[in-house]
Structures are given as structure tokens and as C-alpha cells.
Structure 1
């Protein structure tokens, strides 16, 4: 009876709007992965549902961690954060060792975990947000001191940035930098410190972007893909063709032409192009509306919580999701260079899906914490 009572108590506190939005996005993504990857699965593996089944397995794992993260009080991460940081950085180091790191498409970003292949940088996205929220919530009294209040956590962030850049994966490294930067900004960073760090980060990112020939090609090709239609502009051009043919309501689920070998990465980085082709502007509005609803629920969490750690954690996790979505959609629409960052909860990719669902589970727990605080009786 006590166990049942405890379960019912937790169920009453869940933010069903936020949780339901996450679940809907995940199942929508699973459906679109099936549609977008069916021709490739049939050609490459003789099984059209190959990628769908892989994504379904990762989704089940993700749901387990989503529920666990929604139930574990977010304050517990204060005790675990040092170990989580050390473990995540160790995994980033292991990626670079031959025989441990898995190489795909000239990148070494994955490691074997039993029969699974995971991408440690996805874990680092989450861990660094928790770490920054924890540290800067504690440093509120001296956040205006650069040496004592601002600098120490930035050294670990720089290490993580360089290790991810070594894989190489500038897009993920920059997304982590931006998410942590927003946490630092919301913690009360002084304007002159903000200008100093922002200009340093911008100069560093620019340097790394233009000194690697393949990154420089991506930057120039997204500005005018038709000049590079047989090379780096090919993918973006076919993304345009997919979205243009979709119109308002699309060509119907499964009706994409571009996924038939024309658009590379149709089920991963460019799945939004297939959604637009098959479901039209209505599909795009559904996805954008879901992300905006997540932002709105996060805003309510920030407004309702009194705990600085909880506030900064909510801000960091929310912007982590939104920055990743902005990078992906910006690449698909030709507004940003192609970075290889997946669309949160929707694109094919196990590590990204699982750690995004953990982030979402923590947001659900943060939202539930507001309701628990409201029910604490006031002592007169």
C-alpha cells in the first residue's frame, strides 16, 4: 500500500503537458525515421525497417532513463556531479585511443559499450550543464570576481571543448560552449566579463572554423550552394527541393522522392527536409510548436522555482535542446553551415536520443518540484 501510495503521489505531481510533448515528439520522430530510412535500409541491409528497429531499441532505453530522471530529485545531482564530470571527460579521452574509439566517416566520436556504440560528447552536453548550474549557483556571492567566481569552471569547459574538437566535431563543441555560456550569463556575469569571454570564444571558433579546409568549404557552400551543386552544396540543394515540393500539407507520409537516394542523411541530419516534403508546412509547424511549448513550460519552471541551482539547471537544459534544434534547422534551411547535429527527439541516433530524454526527464522533475513546494504548509 505504501509503494502504491508513493507511486500515486508522484503521478499527481508530473507535468503531463511537458512530459506528453516530449513523448509525442519521440514517437513522431520514430515514425519519420521509419519513413525516411526505409529505402536506405532496404538497399543497404535488405530490410526496410532496419533503422526503425534500431531507433525503437534506443527509444525504449531512453524511456527508461526518462522515467528515472523524472523521479530522481534534481538536488541529487549536486552529490554526483564531480564523479559525472570525471567519468564524461575520461570517456572523451578514451574515444581518441585506437582500438577503443570507433571511426565513422573520418571521425572518431564513438566507443563500444558492450554491444552498443555510444557517443560520449552527448553525455558531456548534459554533464557540463549540470556542472555549470551547480558551480555558479554556489558562486552567487562572488560571481562578479572573474578569477574566483567565473574562471575555474571555464578551464574544464575548455578541456571538454578541445577534446571534442579533436574528434573532430566543432558543431557539438560549439553547442556545449553556447549552452554553458547562457548558464553563466543567467548566473549574473558582469558585462565586461561577458564581452571578454564572448569575444574570446568567437575568435577561437572562427579560427578553428577557417583553418580546417573541410569546415571552410561548408561555410562557403551554405552561403551559395548552387555554386557547389556537385560537391558541398549538393545536400542543401536537395533539402531545398524536398521542402519546396511539400507545400502546405505535403505529399503524404511515405511520399518523399528525395529519400530515394537523392538526399544524403535523410533520416539523421536532414530529417526535417523529409518531414516538410511528406507533411508540408503543417509538419514543420507541429515540430516548431512542440519546441515552443517545451520552452514555455521551462519558463514556468524558472518562474516557480526559488532554488538558484534549479533555475540555472532549467535554463541550461532548455537552451541545450533549443540550440541543437536551431543548429539543425538552420542547416536544413540554409541559414547556418551543416554541422551534423541531429534534431532533438526526432533524428536517428541512439546516444543523442537517450541523453536528450534524460535532459527532458530532469526538466519534468524540476517542474514537479514546483508543485511540491506549493503544497508545503505554511507555519504561522
Structure 2
């Protein structure tokens, strides 16, 4: 049985979302299994095993006393993931799997592990531990003093940028970590002035990484091809004419995602009856899973998923507000942002409101590493929730 002080609602909501993700990994992978001549249950079996292990991880961590294990495990996770990411580019092809021209997975006998997924959790722990020592003291500082305090952590973040955005060619994850860092800094007591400076620096860096990458420029053009008609109608005619760009690439993914959402209606086509997965969108069970869920489950099915995500984020934030330990508080804030922002960035991309980032939906998108890392994160929050429940009583 789970420790009676742990947050059962959080655990059950995560299990519900995981169950939906496992079912969709079977239903939405039809075209891929046919194209690569896999068995019908190829993706389902792998996601099911990851889900079982993930739920076991959450349950086991819910039993652990955070004052004994949280700091030790957090440092272990951070440094292990960091070392693995540093080693990734030097691993032979027999030990590393590539995607998008970069090595992203380490091959093990039964599973491939993406160290970046676990590094995000370790990075949030490191920020929580560091910020609790530097900022949460109610001491007023000037902007210059705040910048000097945060410089070492900016250096660590630049290491993350190098490892993820450069070596793994994944700017979306860096943007996600940058937003999480800024929110955690504000929660720790950083000033609005520091927030503005960090936001400006992040925007400039994102612009540079986009400008030097042809495939990111192409992705931005594809997004603008679908968004410009809606955006330019609210601007003055002369400005709209100046900003309009012709001969842009066809927004293939966004258009078919919109068709899937339209076809779903309120109740959906039914599990397994969607058509968007039949070659119209590649890998629907991964980054475009929300479009597939909406087509087969309709607005009702999507609302269930959104409701579970919102409840998970709310429960994590609720636990954050119930603990007196600053490290626990900031860690929970960071995990809530990681889950919530991942979902939001993916959903806005599928809807065509922002460029697609290639960010997985927590617990719903296919991927063993993502599943295990998210379960590990919530497992740590469940461990912390014991203390929160105890202090409330």
C-alpha cells in the first residue's frame, strides 16, 4: 500500500493519463507498424512495459522519506545524467541511436535511454537546491547583485544549451528549461527586473539559434504560412501587406492536425477509427498525439486528458505550498512547470498558434525514456507530499 500521507489523487491522475497514453500508442501507431513491418503490438508492448515500470517507480518513491533520500538521489541523478550527456557524442553507433543528425539514445540490452529526459529532472533539482541557498532569504538585492548571484547557474544552463541545443539539435527542450528556470527564479524571490533581463537574453539566444539553423528557419516559415492570414487580419492593411510572405512551404503537419481535430467532433471517431494516422501525419503517436486523441476521442476525450494534466499540475503546486522546506518547494514548482509547459507548448504547436517544437506530451506521447523520467519526477513529488500532508495535520 502507498504511504497514507502521500498524495493519492496525484498518483491516480498520473496512472489515468499513463493508461490513456498506452492505449493510444497502440491505436495511433498503425501506419508506422505497417511501414516498418513491425508486429501490431510493437509500440504497445514497449509502452506498456515502460508504463508498468513508471508506475512502480512512482509507488516506490512515494514510500521514501524525503529528508533521508531526496538530496542524495537528486545529486546522483543530476551528475549521472550530465556525465551520460557529455559522453553521448563519443559513443560508437553500436551503443547510441541517432535522430535528426544527433545521438540522443543510449542502447541498453532491453531498452534505449535518452539521458536528456533525466537531465531535465536533475537540472530542476540542482536549481531548487541552489536557489534555496542563494535567494530564499528575504534579503533585498540590487539587479547587479542578483546577476552576480545567478551567474554560476547561468553557466550551468549554458552547458545544458551546449549539450541539448547544439549536440542534440533540440532547441525546444532548451526553451522549456529556460522558461522553467525563470519561473523557479521568480518563485525563489528573484526580482521582476532580473526576470526581464533573463527573458531578453533568452530571446536573443533563441533568435541566434534559429538564424543559424536552416531546418529551424524552415519550420518557422511553415508555421507562418498557416498563421499569417489569421494574424494579419487584425493588423492595419499597410502593415499586413508588408508582413505577408508568399511562396512559403505548405504547412503540412498543421493542416492535417487541424483536419484531425475537425473530424473528431465532440465524441470522436472511436478508438482505432481515426484516419489521420494512416500516413497523413508521421509518428502521430509521438509529438502529434493530441491530434490523434482528438480525432478518435473527440473534444470529450481531449478534455479528459487536459483535465488530468491540469489536476496533476495543480496537485504538485498544492504540495509545493504545503511544505516548509525551500528545496522541496522549488523542486515542486519546477516539476509543475515542466509538465504544464511541455503540454502547453505541444498543444499550441499542434493548434498552429506557435511553431512546432518536437516536445512530447507528458505521459501521452510514445517514448519509454519520457515516461520513466516523468514518473520519476512525480515519484519525487509524491515523496515530498508525505511531508506536506504531515505538516498540514
TM norm structure 1: 0.90
The match for 1:108 among 103, 107, 116 is 103
Deviations 1:130-161 (A, max 9, x none): 11111111223368333553222221121012
Alignment of 1:296-311 (within 5 A): 296-311=314-329
> Is residue 291 of structure 1 aligned with residue 309 of structure 2?
yes
Distance of aligned partners of 1:213 and 1:303 in 2 relative to their CA distance in 1, 3 Å threshold: same
Residue 3 of structure 1: aligned partner: none
Q: 1: CA distance between counterparts of 2:308 and 2:278?
A: 28
Asked whether the 8 Å contact 2:5–2:386 carries over to 1, the reply is yes
The alignment status of 1:246 with 2:264, answered yes or no, reads yes
Q: Is the 8 A contact 2:222 2:248 kept in 1?
A: no
**Residue of structure 2 in register with 1:85 after alignment:** 78
Point out where structure 2 has 5 or more consecutive residues left out of the alignment: 228-244
Out of 353, 357, 366, the position equivalent to 2:375 is 357
1:122 to 92, 108, 117: 117
State whether structure 2 residue 164 is matched by structure 1 residue 164: yes
The equivalent residue for 1:177 is: 178
Structure 1 residues 245 and 121: alpha-carbon distance in aligned structure 2, compared to 1, 3 A threshold: same
In the TM superposition, residue 212 of structure 1 has moved relative to its aligned partner by 0.5
Q: 1:187 to 1:232 in 2, by over 3 A?
A: farther
Deviations 1:354-375 (A, max 9, x none): 0001111122222222122245
Match for residue 50 of structure 1 among 22, 26, 42: 42
Distance 2:120 2:102 in 1: 18
SS at match of 2:97: strand
Partner of 1:372: 390
How far apart, in 1, do the equivalents of 2:264 and 2:147 lie? Answer: 53
Question: What is the CA distance between 1:230 and its match in structure 2?
Answer: 10
What SS does the aligned partner of 2:371 have?
helix
CA displacement at 1:237 relative to structure 2: 1.2
**Contact 1:72–1:365, Cα closer than 8 Å, also in 2:** yes
* Structure 1 residue corresponding to 2:296, chosen from 270, 278, 283: 278
Q: Determine the structure 2 residue equivalent to 1:334.
A: 352
Aligned twin of 1:187: 188
Q: Is the 8 A contact 1:69 1:365 kept in 2?
A: yes
In structure 1, runs of 5+ residues without a counterpart are: 1-6, 376-380
Equivalent residues, number: 367
How far apart, in 1, do the equivalents of 2:367 and 2:17 lie? 14
RMSD of the TM alignment (CA)?
Answer: 2.1
Q: Which residue of 1 aligns with 2:339?
A: 321
Matches within 5 A, 1:65-80: 65-75=57-67, 76-80=69-73
| 2: CA distance, partners of 1:363 / 1:229 | 49
Task: Please state how far the C-alpha of 1:126 moved relative to its aligned partner.
Answer: 0.3
Tell me how far 1:97 sits from its aligned partner.
Answer: 1.4
Deviates more, 1:56-65 or 1:316-325: 56-65
Distance 1:143 1:69, change over 3 A: farther
Distance 2:42 2:226 in 1: 32
The match for 1:347 is: 365
2:230 aligned residue: none
Are 2:131 and 1:136 equivalent residues in the alignment? yes
Q: How does 1:186-225 map to 2 (within 5 A)?
A: 186-225=187-226
Instruction: Measure, in 2, the Cα distance between the counterparts of 1:187 and 1:232.
Output: 44
Question: Hey, what's the Cα distance between the residues in 2 that align with 1:147 and 1:293?
Answer: 35
Q: Is the CA contact (8 Å cut-off) linking 2:310 and 2:340 kept in structure 1?
A: no
User: Which segment drifts farther, 224-233 or 54-63?
Assistant: 224-233
How far apart, CA to CA, are the structure 1 residues paired with 2:56 and 2:246? 44
Q: Equivalents in 1 of 2:282, 2:247: separation in Å?
A: 14
CA deviation profile, 1:181-236 (whole Å, cap 9, x unmatched)? 21111101123222222211111011101220100111121122499999662111
Tell me the CA shift for residue 84 of structure 1.
3.0
Cα 1:80–1:11 change in 2 (3 A) is closer
**For the structure 1 residues 147 and 238, does the alpha-carbon distance in structure 2 shift closer, same or farther, using more than 3 Å as the test?**
closer
1:81 Cα deviation from its structure 2 partner:
3.8
